[in-house]
Amino acid sequence: MRDEAPGPGDGDPSGPDGAGATADAGSDAAALAGLFAPERVAVVGATDREGSVGRAVTENLLAEFDGTVVPVNPSREEVLGLSCVDSVAEADADMAVVAVPPGDVVDVVRECGDSEVRNVVVLTAGFGETGAEGANREQQLRSVADEYGLNLVGPNSLGVMSSPRGLNATFGPDAPPAGGVSFMSQSGAFVTAVVDWAKGEGIGFKDVVSLGNKAVLDETDFVRAWGDDPDTDVVVGYLESIDDGRAFVDVAREATDDTPVTVVKSGRTDAGAQAASSHTGAIAGSDRAYEAGLDAAGVLRAESVQELFDSARALAGGDVPDSDGVAVVTNAGGPGVMATDAVGDAERLRLASFGDETVDRLGEALPDEANVYNPVDVIGDASVDRFREALDITLEDPDVGSVVVITAPTATLDFGELGEMIADAADEHGVPMAACLMGGKRLADAADVLRERGVPSYFDPARAVGGLKSLAEYREVRGRSYPEPEPVDADRERVREILSSVTGRSDNRLGVEAMEIFDAYGVPTPEGAVVDDPVEAERVAEGIGEEVVMKIVSPDILHKSDIGGVKVGVPVAEVADAYEDLVSRARNYQPDATILGVQVQELIDLDDGVETIVGSHTDPQFGPLVMFGLGGVFVEIMEDTTFRLAPVGRDEAAEMTEEIDAAPLLRGARGREAVDIDAVVDAVRRVSQLVADFPSIVELDVNPLVATPDGVRAVDLRLTVDPEKLETQS
Ligand code: ADP
Ligand code: MG
């Protein structure tokens, strides 16, 4: 048995100890450093065979790595001129790259654990991605890695790379240029594509990891590690899933305090929403959850690969703007207008408004035909010096947070010189700059200089502005604090009882019969009661007012008004007849429907009110989300909604009310009085706390929550309880 071979753990007082090792491989950020800066790398499954993974990874390691490479293969004497050892235990390595057949991987990884090899990269495929047998193998792999506390990447990974040590432990074709971008990708093909493409784009990498199946280490572990890594300027991710959304949020919030993180998340369309039985569930696809989750995490989201790396390039510069004001300095009118439009379209950016001094100085420095207001047009015949003067003056304006410098090919400029000038100005002023080189061959010298000197440059003005937009977004992230939501006083015991009422029922939905939940959480409701005979209905109505609202109460009727189950403005004298009518409508609709009775409710004057919706949906990765939007019966048609992770505090709830398209409606439009926003905000945060407190509420709609100048009233409720989660909740 190879286990008896002497290993590096021998003589270590802490002991070569498997079973006693702490299992949480990912929890220690510094521990991952060994994955990117090992001393001795064992390649288990190294071989000379052309076209094999074992050969490709050995060759890549031999190319630049400044440590030692030890091939492991019991059936060979040597590989690529290096002498082989028979087992990983004999390699005395601190990292192992595993490229053996799938059936042998678990044993090899156990051997790594036994011989104190902490860092393991499993290239072998044929695990969770291939069906039940593979999934089982992956489970075994995970438990062995946990037992020994291994930093395990993969399986089914292309490998890892790290430029400071020249480490290329992948079977891809090339190593990336060096730089400050650390990149993780859930797709190996994407790694090879990006590395190849980056060469021409002036993007350099610190660490690159192909995450593979993420059996052990996942996106959260790498965000944590790179957040602490002084050599990583920006973290970039291509992700298909985030496994534990809440853990990711916690870790990313800390990392993004000084390291920007930007990701593209693929798989945006989502079929899961169709099964939902609430408005909120129907609108909340997993993409809305990722949107809310990434935003909560302070992670920037790119819509395309191009945007991802445009953003990375801008962020890698390290300067964060002091203001959202953008100046445009151009020698060409049209592109200047395009850049100006793009600034207008970007949510966080605005055109900087120059102070008088700036305008005066520009007037003195530039010819009469020039434009001295933003966008600054230095005119087609501008020399490098004139350009520089205009830039210096602009960069000194206090409202200018970042600058787009645009040039088209002109006969008067030396573009190598122009590139140097732009880079000098960027260095001297410490203000982020994006260059827009609107040309090809003629501008190539400028492009080369800027690439070398780390100033992002783009052909398209909109892309240049896109880079600055990422900087503005990151500026917002850096300025954040994440306060705990204010506590909500609530009668939790009462809610627990109401939710438990579904136990043993065939249906897990509750409707207006559960409105008492609102009382328990301090959300105002109209006066009213659920009754089960016409006489009682009349009695309740008399106590309320001259006219009331009546609604059928049945777990089998989801949308009451769709079947004529809501009567608004019923005079007291007609209440008894209305009762009978509602019941018979329900019977006609579904003869065997369970009818719990009729709700008699105070009539709210909607003339000066707005119907809003507050909802919740539990996402498998990110947990409970809270939604706010324009409510009423057309919610899904309007889809004017916004999501957050629940619970939210007052500030976040207030942001939600500002974010929807209908926000001006709430704040009073066209002579209408504004609604009581504070009451809306309070209701949103209370509902968000309710769903956070009770994981058994998997879906919930408060639709409408009627907002008026005098306050809010929750007039309708629908929620779905997961009976299996009833037991475990607080
Ligand atoms: P459902 O959503 O099941 O159809 P609701 O209780 O939401 O039933 O009622 C449908 C619509 O009736 C509401 O969107 C609102 O326009 C109106 N409505 C319901 N209750 C009241 C009320 N108490 N006062 C005024 N209008 C109401
Ligand atoms: Mg409703």
Pocket test for ligand 1, best of 568, 570, 612 (most atoms within 8 A of CB): 568
126: CB partners within 8 A, 6+ apart: 102, 134, 137, 155, 156
Say if residue 356's pLDDT is above 60.
yes
Q: Higher pLDDT residue, 146 or 279?
A: 146
Ligand 1 atom closest to the Cα of residue 528 is 23
Give the ligand at the shortest distance from the Cα of 611: 1
527: CB partners within 8 A, 6+ apart: 543, 544, 601, 602
Distance CA 399, CA 127 (A): 55
Q: Higher pLDDT residue, 421 or 203?
A: 421
Element (H, E) at 225: helix 219-227
Distance CA 119, CA 121 (A): 7
Nearest C-alpha to atom 23 of ligand 1 is from which residue? 603
Say if residue 75's pLDDT is above 50.
yes
Phi, psi angle pair for 113, to nearest 5°: -60, -45
pTM for this structure? Answer: 0.90
Q: Is 432 exposed, middle or buried (0-12, 13-18, 19+ CB in 10 A)?
A: buried
Q: By the 8 A CB rule, do 208 and 236 touch?
A: no
In this prediction, residue 23 carries a pLDDT of 38
Assign residue 646 a region (left: φ > 0; alpha: ψ between -120 and 50; beta: otherwise). Answer: beta
Binding site membership of 549 for ligand 1 (Cβ less than 6 Å) = yes
- Give the CATH H-level superfamily of domain 533-601: ATP-grasp fold, A domain (3.30.1490.20)
In this prediction, residue 276 carries a pLDDT of 59
Average pLDDT on 249-256 reads 97
Nearest C-alpha to atom 14 of ligand 1 is from which residue? 632
In this prediction, residue 5 carries a pLDDT of 35
Distance CA 483, CA 491 (A): 24
Ligand 1 atom closest to the Cα of residue 631 is 14
In this prediction, residue 454 carries a pLDDT of 87
Pocket test for ligand 1, best of 716, 717, 719 (most atoms within 8 A of CB): 716
Nearest C-alpha to atom 26 of ligand 1 is from which residue? 604
Q: pLDDT for 509-551, tens place per residue?
A: 999 999 999 999 999 999 999 999 999 999 999 999 999 999 9
The pair of three-digit structure tokens given for residue 443, joined into one six-digit string: 């501008």
Distance CA 418, CA 684 (A): 54
Q: From the CA of 497, how far away is ligand 1's center (Å)? A: 26
706: CB partners within 8 A, 6+ apart: 604, 606, 609, 610, 611, 612, 712, 713, 714, 715
Distance CA 74, CA 104 (A): 13
Binding site membership of 291 for ligand 1 (Cβ less than 6 Å) = no
In this prediction, residue 597 carries a pLDDT of 95
Say if residue 498's pLDDT is above 90.
yes
Binding site membership of 561 for ligand 1 (Cβ less than 6 Å) = yes
- Among 103-117, 188-202, 326-340, 376-390, whose mean pLDDT is lowest? 188-202
Q: From the CA of 504, how far away is ligand 2's center (Å)? A: 26
Q: From the CA of 556, how far away is ligand 1's center (Å)? A: 17
Binding site membership of 433 for ligand 1 (Cβ less than 6 Å) = no
The band of 439, judged by pLDDT with boundaries at 50, 70 and 90, is confident
Distance set, CA 62 to CA 69, 167, 170, 252 (Å): 7, 9, 11, 35
Q: By the 8 A CB rule, do 239 and 183 touch?
A: no
Q: From the CA of 705, how far away is ligand 2's center (Å)? A: 9
Average pLDDT on 337-364 reads 95
Q: pLDDT for 318-347, tens place per residue?
A: 889 999 999 999 999 899 999 999 999 998
Q: From the CA of 540, how far away is ligand 1's center (Å)? A: 18
> Using N-to-C axis directions, what is the helix angle for 132-148 and 102-114, rounded to 10°?
10
Average pLDDT on 545-570 reads 94
Q: From the CA of 713, how far away is ligand 1's center (Å)? A: 11
Q: pLDDT for 627-648, tens place per residue?
A: 999 998 888 888 899 999 999 9
Pocket test for ligand 1, best of 509, 527, 561 (most atoms within 8 A of CB): 561
Fold of 484-526+604-730: D-amino Acid Aminotransferase; Chain A, domain 1 (3.30.470)
Q: Residues whose CB is under 5 A from ligand 2 (ion)?
A: 703, 716
Fold of 318-478: Rossmann fold (3.40.50)
CA dihedral 702, 708, 709, 713 (to 10 degrees): -50
Q: pLDDT for 442-452, tens place per residue?
A: 888 989 999 88
- Pinpoint the residues of the chain covered by CATH 3.30.470.20: 484-526+604-730
Q: pLDDT for 91-114, tens place per residue?
A: 999 999 999 999 999 999 999 999
Pocket test for ligand 1, best of 633, 637, 710 (most atoms within 8 A of CB): 633
Assign residue 149 a region (left: φ > 0; alpha: ψ between -120 and 50; beta: otherwise). Answer: left
Q: Higher pLDDT residue, 721 or 319?
A: 721
In this prediction, residue 200 carries a pLDDT of 77
The pair of three-digit structure tokens given for residue 521, joined into one six-digit string: 């959480």
The pair of three-digit structure tokens given for residue 372, joined into one six-digit string: 């001295």
Ligand 1 atom closest to the Cα of residue 602 is 23
Pocket test for ligand 1, best of 515, 544, 546, 566 (most atoms within 8 A of CB): 566
- Pinpoint the residues of the chain covered by CATH 3.30.1490.20: 533-601
Q: From the CA of 715, how far away is ligand 1's center (Å)? A: 7
In this prediction, residue 17 carries a pLDDT of 38
Distance CA 430, CA 427 (A): 5
In this prediction, residue 309 carries a pLDDT of 87
Express as a percent the part of the chain with pLDDT over 90. 78
- Pinpoint the residues of the chain covered by CATH 3.40.50.261: 318-478
Q: From the CA of 715, how far away is ligand 2's center (Å)? A: 8
In this prediction, residue 224 carries a pLDDT of 96
The band of 162, judged by pLDDT with boundaries at 50, 70 and 90, is very high
Q: Is 655 exposed, middle or buried (0-12, 13-18, 19+ CB in 10 A)?
A: middle
Q: Higher pLDDT residue, 53 or 275?
A: 53
Average pLDDT on 477-492 reads 95
The band of 669, judged by pLDDT with boundaries at 50, 70 and 90, is confident
Give the ligand at the shortest distance from the Cα of 565: 1
Average pLDDT on 647-675 reads 93
Fold of 29-266: Rossmann fold (3.40.50)
Report for 538-552, 554-568, 668-682: range of highest mean pLDDT: 538-552
How does DSSP classify residue 219? Answer: H
SS (H, E, C) 295-332: HHHCCEEECCHHHHHHHHHHHHCCCCCCCCEEEEEECC
Could you tell me whether strands 178-185 and 205-210 are parallel, antiparallel, or unpaired per DSSP bridges? Answer: parallel
Q: Considering the chain, what is the average pLDDT of its residues? A: 91
- Pinpoint the residues of the chain covered by CATH 3.40.50.720: 29-266
